[in-house]
Structure 1
Amino acid sequence: MLTLSPLGGGRFSSGAAQTNRNEFIFGGQLLAQALCAAAQTVSGKLPHALHASFEFPASATRPLVYQVCEGRDGRSLSHRRVMARQSGHTVLRAYASFSGPEEGFRHQSGWRSEPPAPDSLSTLGSIAARYETQVSEHGKGRLSTYPQLEIRPIAVKEHLLLQPGKPASRFWMRARGNMPADPTGWTAVLTYLSDYLLVNAALIPHVSEMPDEHLFVASLNHAMWFHVLADPSQWLLYETESDWAGQGRALVHGRFYSENGQLVASVVQETMIRARKNSG
């Protein structure tokens, strides 16, 4: 999912595509590959921030090329601009920042409350066996996930959009498969995870208002800050909360915590939420 082939001149091509329910390339993969492309032009520093805008849906059947424009390389910080291009369209613009090790003040916010251990929660398979006949067409996307992920939701009915609740969601997640060996690769995998069901927090309060399968959801802008290095193949708690929704958009904040409660990364995303147009 993250492997890129160098083309020269700061250009890299993608050879794999993970499609979402709209049959476009999953936004988390675009974000992660953009970060990987930028990282290949930086040495001695790790990613600390990523800001991106999704501009055009990316097809899984066409070549996708990332162009990295080198920015300033300072003693402690480096910056890169990345454009993902496909069939004459810019599908993603991203700005990645990298930093070296620094000492300074330390503090962090903790999780909302002590979560249940991930191994004590139901798997998606057992949840699907219990709730599949009750879940709406839109909610069925929560009964399974990408092969690269494992999910353990905490509030199952809210996660499946079976009942309304506060604009917030919590679930454990981890990556499956062979992890990259280098720290930058771990950060890219975490970036891949960060786009998964972030919008759920904005949908949960509106379960009773949602038209069945007549909802179009798409990421618009995505920002992420990496605080400490964490192995994404280990369980991470993803706490998300939506502060606002309106005008066909929603704003969602997310935080990743390790199993011992350490804040690993912070995320903010603006998402489009619209009723699908009736083709008939």
Structure 2
Amino acid sequence: MKHINELLSLLELEQLEDNLFRGHSKSVGNSTVFGGQVLAQSLYAAMKTVPADRQVHSLHSYFILPGDLEIPIVFQVERIRDGGSFTTRRVKAIQKGEPIFFMSASFQLEQEGFDHQITMPNVSPPDWLVSWEDLAQKFGDMLPENIRKFLNLERPIEFRPVELVNPALPTKSQPFRHIWMKAKGEMPSDPQMHQCVLAYSSDYNLLTTALLPHGAEASFGNVKIASLDHAMWFHRPFRMDEWLLYAIDSPSASNARGFTRGNIFTQDGHLVASVVQEGLIRPKMVDRG
């Protein structure tokens, strides 16, 4: 996928009947379905069963089994509650008769209330930075083939890292990372599609932040990485075709799991979403499946 329209087509599921949808997958370099894809598709399915005047404000999900890229995914929506201000949905993603992913999402009417936020980190603006593709072109001959392929993959989202890390010679560093991101192409006006695309994009860069304090021991290809859960809160309106800063940290890693958090800001400093994820980060020498 090299343009946002390709991702939007992937996220727009086929409705089979009430509360039942079907979608397909596209590889992002993995042999299994990308977690951000099934997350965003599940959110899309939930949105299609909710009144248009209610916007998602939070979601909580678990990755159960790896998804098969070659067969469709069926999304079953359960209508948990329709209240005066909040609506709750639960989504089960199914392949071969088994759930591969669960998500609960809550939607809310727009309401007045208190307003505050933390300050956006002071980092270099995106115009000063280079993208993953630019890094691959500049340093491709010095990078291992698997890393070069990863950086060169065509994606509908452009990522520009603030901190440059040499993936061929990783050194131990503090578990903090800042990445600017933006859709490649103009997005439609529907805010729900911007939320779905942000959910998709939020699964990038999280777990690898938990590897930063471990240097070469946790270098690319030496560990098995898999998302276990993913939670997300939407605070304020935004557009995915404008630059967003993803500020990520990893407070802890233990028992073959890495815990990561992220705050997402507009370029003018508004906090629009927050993310938390835990995932498997197990050295391959002790991999047990």
- Give the TM-score normalised by structure 1: 0.92
165 and 128 in structure 1: CA distance in 2 versus 1, 3 angstrom threshold: same
2:239 aligned with 1:223: no
**Alignment equivalent of 1:75, drawn from 84, 88, 111:** 84
- Once the two structures are superposed, residues 36-67 of structure 1 have per-residue CA deviations (whole angstroms, 9 ceiling, x without a partner) of 00010000200000100000001110121000
Corresponding position of 1:163:
171
2:130 aligned with 1:122: yes
Corresponding position of 1:276:
284
More helix by share: 2
91 and 216 in structure 1: CA distance in 2 versus 1, 3 angstrom threshold: same
Q: Is the contact made by 2:180 and 2:244 (CA closer than 8 Å) also made in structure 1?
A: yes
Q: Is the contact made by 2:74 and 2:95 (CA closer than 8 Å) also made in structure 1?
A: yes
Following superposition, the deviation at residue 4 of structure 1 comes to: 0.2
**Alignment equivalent of 1:93, drawn from 102, 105, 115:** 102
RMSD: 2.1
Is the deviation greater in 38-47 or in 208-217?
A: 208-217
Corresponding position of 1:18:
26
119 and 60 in structure 1: CA distance in 2 versus 1, 3 angstrom threshold: same
Percent identity between the aligned chains? Answer: 37
Q: Write the letter of the residue equivalent to 2:114.
A: F
SS in 2 for 1:199: helix
Following superposition, the deviation at residue 162 of structure 1 comes to: 3.0
Following superposition, the deviation at residue 200 of structure 1 comes to: 2.1
2:133 aligned with 1:143: no
Corresponding position of 2:45:
37
**CA–CA distance in 2 between the matches of 1:263 and 1:141?**
33
140 and 228 in structure 1: CA distance in 2 versus 1, 3 angstrom threshold: same
SS in 1 for 2:11: coil
Following superposition, the deviation at residue 81 of structure 1 comes to: 0.4
Corresponding position of 2:6:
none
**CA–CA distance in 1 between the matches of 2:28 and 2:150?**
12
**CA–CA distance in 2 between the matches of 1:161 and 1:102?**
50
**CA–CA distance in 2 between the matches of 1:154 and 1:142?**
18
Q: Write the letter of the residue equivalent to 2:21.
A: F
Corresponding position of 1:190:
198
Q: Is the contact made by 1:53 and 1:222 (CA closer than 8 Å) also made in structure 2?
A: yes
**Alignment equivalent of 2:114, drawn from 105, 114, 117:** 105
Is the deviation greater in 118-127 or in 237-246?
A: 118-127
- Once the two structures are superposed, residues 98-120 of structure 1 have per-residue CA deviations (whole angstroms, 9 ceiling, x without a partner) of 001111111101123x1211011
**CA–CA distance in 2 between the matches of 1:190 and 1:88?**
29
**CA–CA distance in 2 between the matches of 1:155 and 1:93?**
34
Following superposition, the deviation at residue 163 of structure 1 comes to: 2.8
Following superposition, the deviation at residue 278 of structure 1 comes to: 8.7
- Give the TM-score normalised by structure 2: 0.89
For structure 1, which runs of at least 5 residues remain unmatched after alignment? none
- Once the two structures are superposed, residues 12-48 of structure 1 have per-residue CA deviations (whole angstroms, 9 ceiling, x without a partner) of 0003x13244311111111111010001000020000
**CA–CA distance in 1 between the matches of 2:230 and 2:55?**
19
231 and 145 in structure 1: CA distance in 2 versus 1, 3 angstrom threshold: farther
Give the count of matched residue pairs. 277
175 and 6 in structure 1: CA distance in 2 versus 1, 3 angstrom threshold: same
**CA–CA distance in 2 between the matches of 1:137 and 1:246?**
30
